């Protein structure tokens, strides 16, 4: 028999923070208080403010902001950078501040036990005045210094949580923590009193900052586990990047597209698959950018729109080199067939670059995307962060059913595998390897198709020649071994006969 005494399942309230509601499987538990903890600079106030802004703008839900530290005038000014006009919402009655921040000119004199009775009355009055559905308390730890005993803090926190639940308010309460992976809160009480706990981290690893968000608990409600990267963008606020949103449900067709070079098309069995990711890997100067230029040129020739992200060369440098190979980037951009986006990797965080790439693709809607080179972004990220970036950008490109080509620079001139390749190779569909080959005191370039999912391809290593008209794929290297390992050696006819005999069919079988 069904027991109705416990009431319905806990309902979720969409926060409106991009990506967070997916991680939270619908949003914050409705009518409950959620604790958002983090160290200094982790983004607690931005999370809380974005929660109220999205309520006002996206869901027509009024909000009350209770501030314990910053003056309201400072919050209004600080949030304008995100395009949030709080003053406007105050005037139309959808936003109200309850100012509980200390007055710097007044000296605090404690003459008796402090409690939240007066403050709760002000919050309740504000909630009823604008019919608020959302309340933010930022930051609750600022008033704990008024209490002499932890038991008193626990009691007053219970009063706040109970009052918010009685009012039917979904509340976000922020609090500080001293360490990224230490105790959850400064007083060790807040996380036990509140129903839900969200942790923001801003970890410094190998001189690189990485922001993540983790839902530690939702009392009585489900959520996704683990840390998820997030970024804070001007004019956008907080954006969470839920990697677990990636699903292997992309459409997979058998349509071929040209690489821009007939010989490379033939080596790939007729060209690349349209909705595939191609990795072009090689040392500096082996011709990776040239293959990317041919990829763009071949796409435009067949009516495709191409988007090129460059992280190593300027727009002018790319254009000059392309003209030398017979491709005019300026003319293609003027015709609306190509967009070139050039940025130094150090100009933004890896998460910001991911957001920029997605935004550019949504705006331009290309048929082809080239990133030259993706390995340049590795120097601004942690190993884990770079791996997550590659997975996210690869998944997004595939979901859009766009052909993607990445170039990656190997650390050695002749052969070897880079750490970058280890991250990328397993999730790319086609790998084209470029190698220097030293023979008899001369440097040659070699090209081979190492892998191509779903298709036969040529296995030979052919000579690659670059001249004023672009790249030309020549004859295979004969009687040479050890090219991929970086130790090419010529072998004689006797050795060739011995190797041939090793793989000769056995007539007895």
Positions marked active-site: 69, 312
Of 386, 403, 450, nearest in space to 277 by CA: 403
Q: Contact at 8 Å (CB) between 162 and 194?
A: no
Q: Contact at 8 Å (CB) between 274 and 254?
A: no
Report the alpha-carbon distance of residue 337 to residue 246 in Å, rounded. Answer: 29
Helix (H) or strand (E) holding 130: helix 117-130
Of 359, 430, 438, 439, nearest in space to 393 by CA: 359
Angle at 364 (CA atoms; ends 361, 369), nearest 5 degrees? 50
- Residue given tokens 């200390």 in the structure block: 102
Residue 142, SS3 per DSSP? helix
Extract the tokens encoding 51. 């929660």
Q: Which residues pair with 29 in a beta bridge?
A: 12
**What 8-state DSSP symbol labels residue 104?**
T
Extract the tokens encoding 508. 């007895």
CA-to-CA separations, 316 to 90, 319, 328, in angstroms, rounded = 48, 5, 11
The backbone torsions φ and ψ at residue 327, rounded to the nearest 5 degrees and listed phi first, read -120, 125
Report the alpha-carbon distance of residue 86 to residue 57 in Å, rounded. Answer: 11
Q: How many other CB atoms are found less than 10 A from the CB of residue 386?
A: 21
Of 287, 230, 318, nearest in space to 447 by CA: 287
C-alpha 425, offset from chain centre? 19
Residue 84, SS3 per DSSP? coil
- Taking every pair of Cα atoms in the chain, the longest distance, rounded to a whole number of angstroms, is 104
- Residue given tokens 């309740």 in the structure block: 124
Q: Which residues pair with 227 in a beta bridge?
A: 214
Report the alpha-carbon distance of residue 245 to residue 252 in Å, rounded. Answer: 19
Report the alpha-carbon distance of residue 372 to residue 377 in Å, rounded. Answer: 10
CA-to-CA separations, 472 to 29, 260, 265, in angstroms, rounded = 61, 11, 12
Helices (H) and strands (E) in the chain — how many of each?
Answer: 15, 24
Q: How many other CB atoms are found less than 10 A from the CB of residue 152?
A: 15
């Amino acid at each position: 028999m069904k027991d109705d005494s416990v009431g319905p399942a806990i309902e979720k309230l969409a926060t409106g923070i991009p990506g967070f509601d997916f991680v939270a499987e619908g949003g914050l538990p409705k009518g409950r208080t959620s604790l958002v903890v983090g160290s200094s600079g982790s983004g607690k106030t931005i999370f809380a403010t974005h929660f109220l802004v999205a309520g006002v703008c996206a869901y027509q839900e009024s909000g009350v902001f209770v501030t314990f530290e910053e003056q309201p005038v400072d919050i209004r000014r600080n949030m304008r950078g995100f395009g949030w006009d709080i003053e406007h919402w105050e005037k139309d009655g959808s936003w109200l501040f309850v100012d509980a921040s200390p007055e710097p000119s007044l000296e605090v004199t404690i003459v008796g036990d402090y409690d939240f009775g007066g403050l709760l009355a002000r919050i309740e009055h504000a909630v009823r005045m604008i019919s608020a559905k959302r309340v933010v308390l930022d930051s609750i730890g600022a008033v704990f210094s008024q209490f002499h005993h932890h038991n008193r803090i626990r009691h007053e926190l219970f009063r706040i949580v109970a009052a918010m639940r009685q009012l039917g308010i979904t509340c976000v309460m922020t609090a500080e923590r001293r360490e990224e992976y230490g105790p959850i809160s400064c007083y060790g009480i807040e996380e036990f009193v509140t129903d839900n706990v969200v942790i923001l981290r801003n970890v410094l690893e190998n001189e690189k900052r990485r922001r993540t968000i983790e839902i530690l608990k939702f009392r009585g409600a489900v959520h996704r586990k683990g840390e998820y990267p997030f970024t804070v963008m001007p004019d956008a606020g907080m954006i969470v990047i839920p990697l677990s949103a990636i699903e292997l449900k992309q459409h997979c067709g058998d349509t071929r597209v040209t690489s821009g070079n007939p010989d490379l098309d033939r080596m790939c069995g007729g060209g690349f698959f349209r909705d595939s990711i191609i990795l072009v890997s090689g040392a500096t100067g082996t011709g990776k950018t040239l293959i990317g230029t041919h990829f763009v040129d071949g796409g435009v020739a067949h009516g495709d729109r191409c988007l090129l992200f460059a992280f190593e060369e300027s727009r002018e440098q790319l254009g000059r080199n392309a003209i030398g190979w017979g491709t005019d980037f300026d003319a293609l951009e003027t015709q609306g067939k190509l967009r070139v986006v050039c940025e130094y990797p150090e100009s933004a965080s890896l998460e910001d670059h991911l957001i920029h790439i997605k935004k550019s693709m949504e705006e331009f809607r290309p048929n082809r995307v080239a990133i030259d080179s993706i390995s340049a972004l590795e120097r601004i990220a942690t190993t884990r962060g770079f791996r997550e970036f590659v997975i996210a950008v690869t998944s997004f490109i595939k979901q859009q059913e766009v052909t993607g080509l990445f170039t990656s620079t190997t650390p050695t001139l002749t052969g070897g595998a880079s750490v970058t390749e280890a991250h990328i190779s397993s999730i790319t569909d086609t790998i084209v390897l470029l190698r220097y080959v030293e023979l008899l005191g001369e440097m040659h370039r070699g090209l081979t198709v190492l892998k191509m999912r779903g298709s036969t391809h040529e296995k030979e290593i052919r000579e690659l020649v670059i001249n004023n008209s672009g790249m030309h794929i020549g004859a295979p290297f004969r009687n040479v071994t050890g090219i991929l390992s970086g130790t090419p050696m010529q072998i004689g006819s006797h050795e060739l006969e011995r190797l041939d005999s090793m793989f000769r069919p056995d007539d007895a079988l």
